[in-house]
Amino acid sequence: MRRPRFRTQAAALAAVALVGGGLVFAGGRADAATTAYEAESATITAGVVESNHAGYLGSGFVNTDNAVGSAVQWSPQAVAGSATLRFRFANGTTVNRPMRITVNGTDVSGAVTFAGTGAWTTWQEATVTATLRAGTNTVLATATTANGGPNLDRLTVVDGATTPPPTGVTPVAQNGQLRVCGVKLCNRYGQPIQLRGMSTHGLQWYPQCVNDASLDALAGDWGADHVRLSMYVQEGGYETNPRLFTDRMHTLIEQVSARGMYVIVDWHQLTPGDPNANLAMAKTFFTEIAQRHGSKPNILYDVANEPNETPWSRIKAYHEAIIPVVRAADPDAVILLGTHGWASLGVSDGGSETDIINNPVNATNIMYTFHFYAGSHGTEYLNTLSRAADRIPVFVTEFGTQTASGDGANNFTRSQQYLDLMAQKKISWTNWNYSDDSRSGAVFTPGTCPNGPYAGTSRLKPAGVWVRDHIRTPADNFPSS
């Protein structure tokens, strides 16, 4: 993705209780309270309760009529504040069945996508964020087309909290050494998982935003699973002082590791676009990093940030040269491989994922990277990610809710489409960026660093509020069997 030089880019359940017709789970990510409300117990307009498709929860689901205005309305109890609303649904057709979500009479989403799930017995979730009032609320899902809505199973309301995760249930403690199984990222139990986290800005520009207080907030208040440490090669970065930046990376790896999060070591090459131009330096850097930290279970190596204007064949050659350097000292870690077209799987360079599928890197335990910016990258990029994730292992190591410059208006609707897809296919993601840069893509308001506060939302821009909420909720699902 083209950008200007100054780039801007859960815990075990503690208790279960019945409350107001829903199940309340105390615990999960950052001790969030999760309350489920069955659709069959809600108020239904132009629809019926059925139980003829397996996989539903409760006693049934609502089959809405094929008509504009068919609807389901719930009356959840809540505390005042931001919450995540998760709609469990099935759509056995290939046609989107969008619904407008209103909370207490206010439209909070526009038309939410309820895309085909492949079968009426395959259930997925669509997620929106809303502000709830204390006490009883009304949440209304209304079909906006003549196709009506999907089959709706339940509404889950997740209230946020700000307490750190309990000791011993950090992401690394739960999942251990990661590996690639098939096209998924899997944990120590061989189970597919999704990681959600943040990328720093360039460590030559905003090191003051990565400190003990900010990492405490990211691990506890935000509930992030990983941090991508973005070390530029050019643009005032590594090449200007290799010793300084390598030592800075060592220190930050230790700080993040101490908080039980995974670390993505990002060799942030951008200009020139051919990673081979930096191959000698990359070998020196990754040799030292892997020798120092290769015994840790939480290190992932992002070996070429955004190759661009360079054929996939040359990028592949770079990867096949750098992978053995890492493997010599760290044989088990997942290695993330930059793709052509500014990590767009080739789209931004006129290619596609088939370039990689037809000529894959000759290595194991690898994933290919994809970057998107919702204000610039629409359906073509979204569809490419969807297709690719079914054929090759993909990790979204960078995305923003704005344009590809890391600035401009937020497109939360398009961003949600990406997040829904990534949740469905368990594609891990990293948001750009955890700094107080003036651009809209930096989560903190200018002047927040180095003193904070970093927890809560008082110093967050709109993008920061949005992504923090989507890291915190829904709770992580890290299966052990």
Report the alpha-carbon distance of residue 117 to residue 100 in Å, rounded. 19
Residues paired with 300 in a beta bridge: 264
Phi (first) and psi of residue 260, to 5 degrees: 75, 20
Closest CA to 2 of 376, 465, 452, 355: 376
Terminal C-alpha separation, the chain: 39
Do 228 and 264 touch, CB atoms closer than 8 A? yes
| Angle value at C-alpha 125, between 135 and 138, nearest 5 degrees | 25
Question: How many angstroms from the chain centroid is the CA of residue 82?
Answer: 19
Phi (first) and psi of residue 64, to 5 degrees: -75, 150
Closest CA to 99 of 60, 45, 136, 54: 45
Catalytic annotation present for 50: no
Instruction: Give how far Cα 426 sits from Cα of 124, 473, 478, Å.
Output: 12, 15, 11
Report the alpha-carbon distance of residue 451 to residue 121 in Å, rounded. 51
Instruction: Give how far Cα 297 sits from Cα of 50, 171, 179, 461, Å.
Output: 47, 11, 10, 33
Report the alpha-carbon distance of residue 129 to residue 109 in Å, rounded. 8
Structural tokens at position 372: 């998107």
Catalytic residue, chosen from 40, 235, 306, 353, is: 306
Catalytic residue, chosen from 40, 235, 353, 398, is: 398
Report the alpha-carbon distance of residue 195 to residue 430 in Å, rounded. 8
Of all helices (H) and strands (E), which one includes residue 344? none
Report the alpha-carbon distance of residue 325 to residue 347 in Å, rounded. 29
Report the alpha-carbon distance of residue 263 to residue 185 in Å, rounded. 15
Report the alpha-carbon distance of residue 454 to residue 213 in Å, rounded. 7
Kindly write down the DSSP assignment for every residue of 361-416, as one continuous string. Answer: -S-SSEEEEEEEETTT--HHHHHHHHHHHTTS-EEEEEEESS-TTS-S---HHHHH
Sign of CA dihedral 22, 24, 25, 28: positive
Amino acid at site 26: A
Catalytic annotation present for 38: no
Residues with a catalytic annotation lie at 306, 398
